[in-house]
Structure 1
Amino acid sequence: MEMEGIQKKMILQVRDLNTHFFTDSGTVKAVNGVSFELLRGERLAIVGESGSGKSAMAMSLIQLLAFPGKVVSGSVKLEGKELIGLGERDLNKFRGSAIGTIFQDPMASLDPVMKIEDQMVKPIRMHLKLNAKDARSLAIKLLTRVGIPDADKRISSYPFELSGGMRQRVMIAMALSCNPKLIIADEPTTALDVTIQAQIVQLLKELAETTGTAMMFITHDLGLVARFAQKVAVMYAGKIIEFGTVHEIFSQPKHPYTQSLLKTIPSVAGEKKHRLLQIQGFPPDMKLLVTGCSYKERCPVATDRCYRDSPDLTLRGGNQSAACWLENGLMSEGEEKIAELLSYKKKEYSVKKMDSEKNKEVNDASGTVLKIQDLSKHFTKTSLAPWKKSTVVRAVNGINMTLKRGETIGIVGESGCGKSTTARMLLNLDEPTSGSINIEGNIQIVFQDPYSSFNPKMKISEIIGEPLNVQKIGTKEDRKQKVGELIQKVGLESSYLDRYPSQLSGGQRQRVGIARSLALNPSVIVADEPTSALDVSVRAQIINLLCDLKDEMGLSFIFISHDLSTVRYISDTIAVMYLGEIVEYGPAEEIFNNPVHPYTKALLSAVPVPDPRVEESRNIELLQGELPSLTNPPAGCAFSSRCPLVTERCMKEKPKLDDYRVNRKVSCYVVS
């Protein structure tokens, strides 16, 4: 095929790239001697923890580094043309034309006061030298190409008038607008629902295959890597420490860091649930001189040589290379030794915590700690124009749930389905329009972003102890002792109590948030996306912690997340929500192994599996369309406008959530 010949053409050559950030507290060596190549049409994934240098390296290629960052040495050639050393005027000829960029948050990248056509047409006219009419026509074609319906009308919209998925599609259309040779996608799906994420990844793959554009995809989601990439570069401490094809990296990783990362992932398939592996320690401070291997302090098989000498990236067979003195990394020690070295405890978590004497003191005899009946929340949306009528936003529509002691209910669904509104009602932050909530004991919350929920001027001891002080529980000494017990319970040393939130990592802050939620001895904890902002390695630590607390204390959780692999791992029961309603409800394993509702099937089909062999053999049924307006929902089934199995009855009559099997409920006429 013609494409196979084209793909051999070299697009990008990076040699010994070094980028530093010159701060008042010292020089941060963010990128340290990175080298790689990218051919036309190739899809390369860059993975690694936060601070590994992924984004700094990518932005160094086009020299869009935030102050005080600077490329200090190295070479970046695009089709043989050297970019390092070019002035701003010459660089602008490459940015947006030869190199397109898709950023993580399209709302922050798009101008909120400019229409889409204004933001697309100007770059097209500048780079392609087209007149206004032809540039607008091309913009509409590009928007149509990336899957935006009625593009001739949507092009006149402002960014805030589009959904998150639509805004990201606009960013992709803009990146493609000038026929780039390379597209850099920096966490382009992080803020998107799993269904929209699947659409975006599939779109990027198709564009690479049909246009020959090389793709560089930066992510911390290893499932997406397995679905998208042909090649993978694993970064740590500013260096590429392993490089190879996606099959080589996933089936036979050679570096201890890569091997450990792959063992931290909760799988969406298979039986649950053994304790997840945890990578101990933290990446090195890049302001300090690193002697020897940068991973040595966290590596369980590090030797004296690792502390003295830094290993280079060397070939290990095929297209794979790794920077490790051991030929096979951890695998040199054997599987049993790996488990021992990594403290991989084969602890199995119970599905539901059995009654204990302690729990009986605070819970009723039936074991029910939370009961929700016919819960609804409707908001009135008043127009500023006096001639327009007010509209009702039906955020939650008559949901029912029962939470047992020691049970975790996972609530899943796309943005706008009512998950967070339900959580706000449980916490009495929103008053229900109708229905009832009965809680035995008290309820607390663990937030998605703990840093935004902390007072940055308060010490950790004050943050954890705040609920105790507000409720005036015990004496000052009692409260101090309680805070000390809580910090240890979440796996942090007491020395952290004298620190401020800014002095802690993301995972440490989330542990503090969990400690604060435990202060008043809750019976129920609402965990609202508690792991979505964390690296995969830190996510494993937090998941293990929540499971430990559940088993040890008999806690019950309402776990809200769009990460379905995490939801499956941690949950006993699943509630699938769509447009304010529960459409499927039942045991987690049954729903994941045998989804019944078409929406549940679509959600699970969209979840990436961290195994490229599985991804290649899957028939992914992408969910089409967007969530209907909450002010004007479909007359019949809420899912009827997007359902591939829709019937005339579905469009006219709303199905009830009825029994399907024992402990299973489904709201669908097609499967009744």
Structure 2
Amino acid sequence: METDYLLESDPLLRVRDLHTHFETESATVRAVNGVSFDIQRGERLAIVGESGSGKSAMAMSLIQLIAYPGRIVSGSVQLENRELVGMPEKELNRLRGKEVGTVFQDPMSSLDPVMRISDQMITPIRMHLKLGPKEARLLAIDWLSRVGIPDAEKRIDAYPFEMSGGMRQRIMIAMALSCNAKLIVADEPTTALDVTIQAQIVQLLKELTETTGTAMMFITHDLGLVARFAQKVAVMYAGKIVEYGTVQELFAHPKHPYTQSLLMTIPKISGEKSGRLLHIGGFPHDMKNQIIGCSYKERCSAAASRCHMEAPPLQERGGTQASACWLEHGLQTEGLDKIVSLDKHNKPQTAAVSMTYTETAAGEADGHVLVIKDLHKHFKRDSLLPWRKAPEIKAVNGINITLQRGETIGIVGESGCGKSTTARMLLGLDEPTSGSIEVSGNIQIVFQDPYSSFNPKMKIGDIIAEPLNVQGIGTKEERRFKVRELIAKVGLEASYLDRYPSQLSGGQRQRIGVARALALNPSVVVADEPTSALDVSVRAQIINLLCDLKEEMGLSFVFISHDLSTVRYISDKIAVMYLGEIVEYGPAERVFTNPMHPYTKALLAAVPVPDPVIESQRDIQLVSGELPSPANPPLGCAFHSRCPLVTEHCVSHKPVLEDYQTTRQVACHAVS
């Protein structure tokens, strides 16, 4: 039996052979295709897999919230031996919130923007726990305090838009736990958060499940978070669980080729940098097509004839580990080169304000293609009182950066630190308040979400050619030749030129975004979170592509991201920003291996390592609180309100970015 590895006799949640389909006009999408697992009381189970693997559809099926045209076709979901599939809606409403809580990815879309937090928390508490208004309010305040909301007695009457993203997610956690839920379903609860806030939320969830005995199903694509948080892991692919086991077993001895590939494609935050990132070749199975044989066979070079004919069952592999693979023990480490790819065939072939874009060839003079000097950007605000001047928002407050030909600088920091405002000024979309930007050649951008930057009614060939058409460069035939050259550079075939954006995957669309950015032969490319919306394997392909283009064309990149592992891999230099200022600046390897500023140390400590053994041994000192408002920054050192090394001198005196050990600059009294 496929459930032989599930030995526990009385789990909190028992799922057996669950099938969920979405009926469309053209086909049936088999989103969940025979899933079975258990969750014990107080257990933390992580569900991982690429986008489209069925994780969220399975989660919504558990709590019976599958929306039309989706429906549960067959299977069983039991909570404490009560069958949820087919349960009347009235009974389900009593169960949701009281026994099963949910925490979704975007708390702002889950919270009612026109209702106070108090109303949204107190209503379910009164309904499920039968408390009076005073008792319910006191309980709500208590839970807000437990999840780390400061001044909970006052903040409970605030509206969601008055809270930061991290605070809103804490409120969602408080709501999920306030009625003594036995199970929490958390669907990507930290994806939209900064790395520091993400670390705080994960730590909070871990502590709360341990103290309350609440079980949790944690859905994520971040394997580092899995190593830090989970006790057991289920890996999903094409609507099925292909591997299951304890977090220690799965990370130390992954059995399924897909699991092994996922682990191999992750950029590392520490250790030696490899030459190229590995990635999984091919594309996930189209869930509109029925699976014959193993669902992973098209992407697995070790697939045998049996894999194409017969679907492997999820079998016990020793202990609590199980995998769905005909290879008796999965692939061994030395076989990983067969199931992951180096993507070598995709390598490219061939006033106070001053903004200057020169025609000087990149690399001339001092070799700098980008020079930023004392750059400021302040935003004025309207005051509610006409006689009182509202404080300016100092988004960028005096930064200096130089970039040479063929060099990449990574700009990191929390949301609101000034990264994207800096990018907008580089592109001429925002005018600096003061300072200067000098660019040798021209500058282009690769967006975070390429689909939003494309006209969905334009063919790919027209999208790539658009910059050439706008600038009137070349004849029609010359532009057509240039477009074919560009799509080859980013590793796609010419046949894609006649397709529309909706017909491409996320990774393919990002390649088109890169091709369009290269159309005018820029010397500098600004990449603003270019991989944050991509799965880990596709992310590796895009990073390899950017590195290849840098090497072959001598391009320089300004790479903006909150993913520190990716930034470390691609960058030559790092600028760490905090409240509009650079607090540490220097060679990437030195900054990552020996960070000097307390904020840099806090950022790196917050990044989870995809190894549960290392995670269990780390003494993680998380930064407390959230980024202060740039409209009212702290006096003295901007970081002093969150710094573990703060002294009276830090509170009253602002540190200057000074040279440290010849190659580094740090703005910290404790270092200087």
* Equivalenced residues, count: 653
Alpha-carbon distance between aligned partners in 2 of 1:579 and 1:473, rounded to the nearest angstrom:
41
Match of 2:116 in 1: 115
Taking structure 2 as the reference length, the TM-score comes to: 0.95
Q: How does 1:165-180 map to 2 (within 5 A)?
A: 165-180=166-181
Post-superposition CA distance 1:428-486 (Å, at most 9, x none): 00000000000001110011111111111111111111000000110011111111111
Secondary structure of 1:391's counterpart equals: coil
Q: How does 1:490-639 map to 2 (within 5 A)?
A: 490-639=490-639
Q: Specify the code of the residue in structure 2 equivalent to 1:666.
A: V
Match of 2:410 in 1: 410
Q: How does 1:135-534 map to 2 (within 5 A)?
A: 135-331=136-332, 335=334, 337-339=335-337, 342-344=340-342, 361-386=361-386, 388-534=388-534
Alpha-carbon distance between aligned partners in 1 of 2:364 and 2:565, rounded to the nearest angstrom:
32
Alpha-carbon distance between aligned partners in 2 of 1:663 and 1:465, rounded to the nearest angstrom:
42
Residues 9/340 of structure 1: CA separation in 2 closer, same or farther (3 Å cut):
closer
Alpha-carbon distance between aligned partners in 1 of 2:457 and 2:385, rounded to the nearest angstrom:
43
Alpha-carbon distance between aligned partners in 1 of 2:68 and 2:150, rounded to the nearest angstrom:
39
Q: Does 1:19 align with 2:20?
A: yes
Alpha-carbon distance between aligned partners in 2 of 1:217 and 1:567, rounded to the nearest angstrom:
26
Does the 8 Å contact 2:576/2:582 carry over to 1? yes
Unpaired segments ≥5 residues, structure 2: 1-7, 348-358
Q: How does 1:27-106 map to 2 (within 5 A)?
A: 27-106=28-107
Q: Specify the code of the residue in structure 2 equivalent to 1:512.
A: I
Does the 8 Å contact 2:300/2:338 carry over to 1? no
Unpaired segments ≥5 residues, structure 1: 1-6, 350-358
Residues 322/340 of structure 1: CA separation in 2 closer, same or farther (3 Å cut):
closer
TM-superposed deviation, 1:8: 9.2
Secondary structure of 2:626's counterpart equals: coil
Alpha-carbon distance between aligned partners in 2 of 1:65 and 1:423, rounded to the nearest angstrom:
40
Does the 8 Å contact 1:445/1:525 carry over to 2? yes
Post-superposition CA distance 1:22-51 (Å, at most 9, x none): 111111010011000010111000000000
Secondary structure of 1:330's counterpart equals: coil
Residues 665/207 of structure 1: CA separation in 2 closer, same or farther (3 Å cut):
same
Secondary structure of 1:10's counterpart equals: coil
TM-superposed deviation, 1:621: 0.6
Secondary structure of 1:93's counterpart equals: helix
Q: Which moved more, 1:553-562 or 1:280-289?
A: 280-289
Match of 1:647 in 2: 647
Secondary structure of 1:46's counterpart equals: strand
Alpha-carbon distance between aligned partners in 1 of 2:138 and 2:386, rounded to the nearest angstrom:
37
Alpha-carbon distance between aligned partners in 1 of 2:416 and 2:373, rounded to the nearest angstrom:
21
Post-superposition CA distance 1:523-543 (Å, at most 9, x none): 101100011111111111111
Does the 8 Å contact 2:279/2:343 carry over to 1? no
Alpha-carbon distance between aligned partners in 2 of 1:160 and 1:473, rounded to the nearest angstrom:
46
Alpha-carbon distance between aligned partners in 1 of 2:669 and 2:545, rounded to the nearest angstrom:
40
CA RMSD, aligned part only?
A: 1.6
Post-superposition CA distance 1:242-279 (Å, at most 9, x none): 00010111111000100111110000011213211111
Secondary structure of 1:157's counterpart equals: coil
TM-superposed deviation, 1:283: 1.1
TM-superposed deviation, 1:387: 5.2
Residues 68/387 of structure 1: CA separation in 2 closer, same or farther (3 Å cut):
farther
Does the 8 Å contact 2:280/2:341 carry over to 1? no
Match of 1:666 in 2: 666
Secondary structure of 2:211's counterpart equals: helix
Does the 8 Å contact 1:369/1:523 carry over to 2? yes
Alpha-carbon distance between aligned partners in 2 of 1:416 and 1:612, rounded to the nearest angstrom:
31
Secondary structure of 2:217's counterpart equals: strand
Q: Specify the code of the residue in structure 1 equivalent to 2:643.
A: C
Q: Specify the code of the residue in structure 1 equivalent to 2:145.
A: T
Alpha-carbon distance between aligned partners in 2 of 1:296 and 1:279, rounded to the nearest angstrom:
12
Does the 8 Å contact 2:251/2:612 carry over to 1? yes
Q: Specify the code of the residue in structure 2 equivalent to 1:58.
A: A
Alpha-carbon distance between aligned partners in 2 of 1:8 and 1:414, rounded to the nearest angstrom:
45
Post-superposition CA distance 1:533-562 (Å, at most 9, x none): 111111111111111111111111001101
Alpha-carbon distance between aligned partners in 2 of 1:546 and 1:525, rounded to the nearest angstrom:
10
Alpha-carbon distance between aligned partners in 2 of 1:305 and 1:346, rounded to the nearest angstrom:
29
TM-superposed deviation, 1:346: 9.7
Match of 2:350 in 1: none
TM-superposed deviation, 1:328: 2.5
Alpha-carbon distance between aligned partners in 1 of 2:388 and 2:201, rounded to the nearest angstrom:
36
TM-superposed deviation, 1:365: 3.6
Does the 8 Å contact 1:128/1:178 carry over to 2? yes
Does the 8 Å contact 1:242/1:320 carry over to 2? yes
Does the 8 Å contact 2:411/2:560 carry over to 1? yes
TM-superposed deviation, 1:626: 1.6
Taking structure 1 as the reference length, the TM-score comes to: 0.95
TM-superposed deviation, 1:384: 4.3
Does the 8 Å contact 1:339/1:345 carry over to 2? no
Alpha-carbon distance between aligned partners in 2 of 1:327 and 1:492, rounded to the nearest angstrom:
36
Secondary structure of 2:328's counterpart equals: coil
Residues 130/447 of structure 1: CA separation in 2 closer, same or farther (3 Å cut):
same
Post-superposition CA distance 1:293-312 (Å, at most 9, x none): 01000001001100000000
Secondary structure of 1:430's counterpart equals: coil
Q: Specify the code of the residue in structure 2 equivalent to 1:338.
A: L
Does the 8 Å contact 1:636/1:655 carry over to 2? yes
Post-superposition CA distance 1:314-334 (Å, at most 9, x none): 011111000000022221xx6
TM-superposed deviation, 1:663: 1.4
TM-superposed deviation, 1:383: 2.8
